[in-house]
Amino acid sequence: MAPTTLVGQKATTCPAGRNPKVNGFPIRVCELLTPLEGATYLERTSVHNAQNVIKTKKAIKKAFQNQIEGKGFSLVEVLSTCPTNWGMTPLDSCKFVAEKMMPLYPLGVFRSPEKEGGAN
């Protein structure tokens, strides 16, 4: 089970499905870290299609660049598929990310140096 495993979703470590009473609720890492002063760049991306793979590569590069420039802590949270453990075809797992995961884990920049001074 991962932090992003949805309520009711089955995983190797929770074969009956994620139960919030037993396993806790899914964790939205970017939202959790946004209030921290040291967090400079936080973005959630996905690799469920080619367009988002390109965006993810850019986000990771930006995170590393921010670290190199000493701007502060950076994190890129990446939603990815797991077709084998989900028991789905690769195509169905990509669809699952788009239709089931992204509504709970919206993609986007939660905090960046460019947004400093404004709303994050």
Query: How high is the pLDDT of residue 118?
Result: 41
Is this prediction's pTM over 0.85?
yes
Task: Provide the residue-wise pLDDT of the chain in tens; the chain has 120 residues.
Answer: 888 999 999 888 888 999 999 999 999 999 999 999 889 999 999 999 999 999 999 999 999 999 999 998 999 999 999 877 788 899 999 999 999 999 999 999 999 987 664 444
User: What distances in angstroms separate CA 10 from CA 14, 24, 55, one per listed residue?
Assistant: 6, 14, 29
Query: How high is the pLDDT of residue 55?
Result: 97
Query: How high is the pLDDT of residue 54?
Result: 98
Phi, psi for residue 98 in degrees, rounded to 5: -65, -40
